[in-house]
């Protein structure tokens, strides 16, 4: 397999969740397995949810798990800066280019006006922003800005079906009528996740994107943006959802879900890594106990499961006991 340049791109909003740790781990395994590179990038463009202390927390928990990155935050590299909030001029240039090429336009509805548009469209199938005809001019947008209206930039979707190829979920096609002109710059001047994510993946040379299944439905947006910029198409693997034993999406309501909490409770990092590796992946053998180095050897994306992973706390306890026993055996 060619060398993979992968990335873990958390939004610093709090502690590292086991779901995030799994994404980081799988990207690490894939990069190491191919003699490639893992990048740590901070997606901190959501200023309302930003928590600066989370940056250190995430980095520290990753290191505790043994997940080291080769490029990015705290390490540096040729494609920096690796914090999106320090790359705003890059996004501005990209957005201005789309505007100049007639591939994007400004709109400025207030929240109330958008609510009214939503109500007029009815409840069926979610809201689709109706493209105005004619499109607002740059002068109208400027006048709206002066008036204090929220001016956003929307991307003009090309109006064709988009097909994504995912290593885990296969081919996914989004029909033209399911797409709408999504926002690429928010009223606060920050790019949206979609815009920044696509620009950065291309500029940082990422050739394989692995992330949670919750992003699968957004991937068509990334494909149309890439197309508009002439960026290459990366490989994708979306990782199955992690559910609790009741089949609900894993959340804090059923106990600890943050790496930090398991760390505080005395779990060995080796046990947690071993357990997390099995959340949506299987080695294809009966063997269950793996060190990080053994996981690098054993890992491949074709054994990532499509079906939801189960966060089985009893299994984690068993792993933990097993690892503690092994550690004391080794010491004898
Ligand atoms: N910043 C996104 C997150 O919070 C990353 C999504 C992606 O990997 O594309 O998980």
Task: Give residue 317 CA to ligand 1 midpoint distance, Å.
Answer: 29
Ligand 1 atom nearest the C-alpha of 43 is 1
Task: Give residue 245 CA to ligand 1 midpoint distance, Å.
Answer: 25
252 as an active site residue: the answer is: yes
9 lines ligand 1 (CB under 6 A): yes
Ligand 1 atom nearest the C-alpha of 8 is 8
The most confident of 111-115, 165-169, 318-322, by mean pLDDT? 165-169
60 lines ligand 1 (CB under 6 A): no
The proportion of the chain whose per-residue pLDDT surpasses 90, expressed as a percent, equals 89
Q: How far is 25 from 19, CA to CA, in rounded Å?
A: 10
Residue in the structure block whose two tokens are 């054993």 = 298
**Do 155 and 105 form a contact (C-beta atoms < 8 A)?**
no
Give residue 150's pLDDT.
97
215 lines ligand 1 (CB under 6 A): yes
Q: How far is 9 from 201, CA to CA, in rounded Å?
A: 10
Q: How far is 93 from 81, CA to CA, in rounded Å?
A: 16
Q: For a pocket test of ligand 1, which of 6, 7, 10 has the largest count of ligand atoms closer than 8 A to its C-beta?
A: 10
Task: Give residue 145 CA to ligand 1 midpoint distance, Å.
Answer: 30
Measured in residues, the chain has a length of 332
Token code pair at residue 61: 């928990």
Q: How far is 68 from 70, CA to CA, in rounded Å?
A: 7
Q: How far is 214 from 109, CA to CA, in rounded Å?
A: 28
Residue in the structure block whose two tokens are 């990335």 = 7
Catalytic hit among 3, 249, 252, 264: 252
How far is residue 153 from each of residues 92, 167, 176, 179, measured CA to CA in Å? 11, 32, 20, 16
Q: How far apart are the first and last CA of the chain?
A: 40
Task: Give residue 313 CA to ligand 1 midpoint distance, Å.
Answer: 26
Mean pLDDT of the chain: 95
Contact partners, residue 189, CB within 8 Å, separation at least 6: 88
Residue with the smallest CA separation from ligand 1 atom 2 is: 10
Q: What is the pTM of this model?
A: 0.95
Task: Give residue 189 CA to ligand 1 midpoint distance, Å.
Answer: 20
Give residue 176's pLDDT.
96
11 lines ligand 1 (CB under 6 A): yes
27 lines ligand 1 (CB under 6 A): no
Q: What is the pLDDT of residues 193-246, one digit of tens each?
A: 999 999 999 999 999 999 999 999 999 999 999 999 999 999 999 999 999 999
213 lines ligand 1 (CB under 6 A): no
Give residue 316's pLDDT.
94
211 lines ligand 1 (CB under 6 A): yes
The proportion of the chain whose per-residue pLDDT surpasses 70, expressed as a percent, equals 98
Q: Is the preceding omega at residue 300 within 30 degrees of 0, hence cis?
A: no
Closest of 218, 258, 250 to residue 236, by C-alpha: 218
Residue in the structure block whose two tokens are 């290459």 = 232
Give residue 126's pLDDT.
79
Token code pair at residue 241: 């959802």
Q: What is the pLDDT of residues 83-118, one digit of tens each?
A: 999 999 999 999 999 999 999 999 999 999 999 999
Which 3-state string (H, E, C) describes the chain? Answer: CCCCEEEECCCCCCCCEHHHHHHHHHHHHHHHHCCCEEEECECCCCCCCCCCHHHHHHHHHHHHHCCCCCEECCCECCCCCCEHHHCHHHHHHHHHHHHHCCCEEEECCCHHHHHHHHHHHCCCCCCCCCCCCCCCCHHHHHHHHHHCCCCEEEECCCCCCEEEEECCCEEEEECHHHCCCCEEECCCCCECHHHHHHHHHHHCCCCEEEEEHHHHHHHHHHHHHHHHHCCCCCEEEEECCEECCCCCECCHHHCCCEHHHHHHCCCCHHHHHHHHHCCCECCCCCCCCCCHHHHHHHCCHHHECCCCEECCHHHHHHHHHHHHHHHHHHHC
Ligand 1 atom nearest the C-alpha of 211 is 8
């Amino acid at each position: 397999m060619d060398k993979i340049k992968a990335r873990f791109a958390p939004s610093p909003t709090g502690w590292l969740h086991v779901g995030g740790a799994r994404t980081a781990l799988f990207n690490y395994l894939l990069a190491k397995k191919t003699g490639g590179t893992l990048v740590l990038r901070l997606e901190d463009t959501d200023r309302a949810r930003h928590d600066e202390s989370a940056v250190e927390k995430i980095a520290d928990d990753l290191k505790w798990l043994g997940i080291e990155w080769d490029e990015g935050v705290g390490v540096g590299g040729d494609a920096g800066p690796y914090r999106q909030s320090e790359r705003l001029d890059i996004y501005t240039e990209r957005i201005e280019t789309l505007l100049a090429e007639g591939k994007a336009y400004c709109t400025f509805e207030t929240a109330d006006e958008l609510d009214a548009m939503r109500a007029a469209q009815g409840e069926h199938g979610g809201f689709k922003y109706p493209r105005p005809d004619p499109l607002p001019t740059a002068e109208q947008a400027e006048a709206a800005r002066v008036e204090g209206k929220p001016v956003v930039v929307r991307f003009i979707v090309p109006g064709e079906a988009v097909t994504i190829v995912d290593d885990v979920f296969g081919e996914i096609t989004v029909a033209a009528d399911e797409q709408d002109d999504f926002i690429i710059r928010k009223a606060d001047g920050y790019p949206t996740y979609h815009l920044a994510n696509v620009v950065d993946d291309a500029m940082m040379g990422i050739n394989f994107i692995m992330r949670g299944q919750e992003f699968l439905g957004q991937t068509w947006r990334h494909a149309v943006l890439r197309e508009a910029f002439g960026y290459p198409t990366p490989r994708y693997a979306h990782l199955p959802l992690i559910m609790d034993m009741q089949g609900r999406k894993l959340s804090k309501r059923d106990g600890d879900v943050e790496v930090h909490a398991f760390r505080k409770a005395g779990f060995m990092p080796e046990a947690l890594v071993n357990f997390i590796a099995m959340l949506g992946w299987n080695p294809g053998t009966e063997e269950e106990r793996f060190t990080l180095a053994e996981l690098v050897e054993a890992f491949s994306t074709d054994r990532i499961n499509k079906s939801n992973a189960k966060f089985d706390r009893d299994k984690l306890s068993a792993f933990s006991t097993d690892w503690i026993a092994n550690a004391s055996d080794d010491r004898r």
